[in-house]
Amino acid sequence: MHRFNIQWVARVLMSALFLIGGIRKILAFKATVGYFSAIGLPFAEVVTALVILIEAGGAIALILGWRLKPLALGLAIYTVATAFIGHRFWVADPAQFSGQLNHFFKNIAIAGGFLLLAAPSNASDAKA
């Protein structure tokens, strides 16, 4: 019988947000490009394609555990960046302030989870 692997469950749960987000961006490619343009991102079509690759590809790689520590570190950085780029609560109108504040700090918390996955898990990892 296989031992229950809580880290794998955590990876699946964390990947769900990115896999669903990537798929939704594929299905609404033009709308995503429009949103990225509206928030001032240059080359919005290229950015959209890269975001889809990072989110959907990163989610699949995370589930599979492919190059887990560097992947988790990269996803932590990406998630913090998206908090500052996409959830700017400090400039949000009053109707959107609470939602943007919550999304911002959810991203920060998710990045913390990725950092836990990136951290050395035993003495041999710490030496590498």
Predicted TM-score (pTM) of this structure: 0.86
pLDDT at 59 over 90: yes
Helix (H) or strand (E) run with residue 25 in it: helix 6-27
Q: Are 72 and 115 in contact (CB under 8 A)?
A: yes
Confidence band, pLDDT 50/70/90 cuts, at residue 100: very high
Closest CA to 64 of 125, 7, 2, 3: 7
pLDDT tens for 3-55 read: 668 889 999 999 999 999 999 999 999 999 999 999 999 999 999 999 999 99
pLDDT tens for 68-87 read: 999 999 999 999 999 999 99
